[in-house]
Structures are given as C-alpha cells and as structure tokens.
Amino acid sequence: MKNYVKEGQKLPIFGVGPYIVFGMGIVAAVGVILCVYILKIGNLDGFWVPVFRIIGALLIALGLTVWFIGAVRSDMDASIAENRLKTDGIYAWVRNPMYSGWWLVFAGITLMWHNAWTLLTIPANWAILTVALKRTEEKWLLELYGQAYSDYLKQVNRCIPWLPGKS
C-alpha cells in the first residue's frame, strides 16, 4: 500500500497508526481472554450486565463515529499530502480523532464482557496511545509545523474529544 500521495510530502499517510491500533487491540484482547476465560475473575452479573453492555455499545458507536469523521469526512489525506496542519472540523475537538475513535471502540468492546478487571485495559490503552503519540507523531509534527503546532497542542486535547478551546 502506498504511504505517500505525492512527491515532497513530508508525513506518511498512515504513520505509526496501524501499530498503535494493533497494540491497543492486543491489550484489550489479552485482558478479556485472561480475566474472563482463563482466570475467571471479576465477572459481574445481574444489574451490571446490561449497564456495561449499553455503555459499551454507546462507546463503540461514538468511537466509530469519531474515527469515521476523522478518517473519511475530514479530508485529512489532502492535508497530509499538501503538508498542511489540520486544525478545523473534528481536529478542533481532538488532535487524533482516528486513534481516539479506536480507543473508544476498544473500551466499548472491553465493557461488553461486563468484567471489572478488564476495565484496567482502558487506561492501559490510553497510556499506550499517549506515549506512542508523544514519542512519534507529536515530535514529527512539532518539527514540521513549529509554533503553529505548539499552539495547537495547548488548545486541543490529544485523545479525548472536547469542546474547542477559545483562542
């Protein structure tokens, strides 16, 4: 798969994204398999089953929506190809909507098993996301866009979609 759209493009289309998403998926899967099926600890029943599943379904739907808007509706590929910093649309709400979407999806999937111990995978995946982005894409973008990206970092949350800040 071609990772650059045109000559002179400074950032790859996919970056480290597939590796981050794969890592978060592995953490979620291992957490579920270990807690639910192997150790059989932390399984909740009764009232908690529908609560976890409803919240899980809502997180999955929200995550897919955030990912779709960031990946498909935002025209991010053109911004990357033209070496333009994207700060409008959903990127005014969250700096990494595609990764955030996957994080929300994995959180929702984890909740579907209504297990208290698997909840630990949610902050673990947030940590993976945060560390990976700080060490890779944020460094690249700061080098490429300088002060404009530095200002953007101060105004928009990395992983959790939030109302746009005031300039």
DSSP class per residue in the chain:
----SSTT--S-SSTTHHHHHHHHHHHHHHHHIIIIIIS--SB--TTHHHHHHHHHHHHHHHHHHHHHIIIIIS-HHHHHHTT----SGGGGT-S-HHHHHHHHHHHHHHHTT-BTGGGGHHHHHHHHHHHHHHHTHHHHHHHHHTHHHHHHHHHS-SSS--PPPP-
Note the pLDDT of residue 78.
82
Note the pLDDT of residue 27.
98
pLDDT in tens, 47-69: 999 999 999 999 999 999 999 99
Average pLDDT score over residue span 113-137: 96
Q: What is the mean pLDDT of the chain?
A: 90
Note the pLDDT of residue 167.
47
| pLDDT at 5 exceeding the cut of 80 | no
- What's the pTM? 0.89
Note the pLDDT of residue 1.
41
| pLDDT at 12 exceeding the cut of 80 | no
Note the pLDDT of residue 15.
75
- Chain centroid to Cα 137, Å, comes to 13
| pLDDT at 154 exceeding the cut of 70 | yes
Average pLDDT score over residue span 142-147: 93
| pLDDT at 85 exceeding the cut of 50 | yes
Note the pLDDT of residue 76.
86
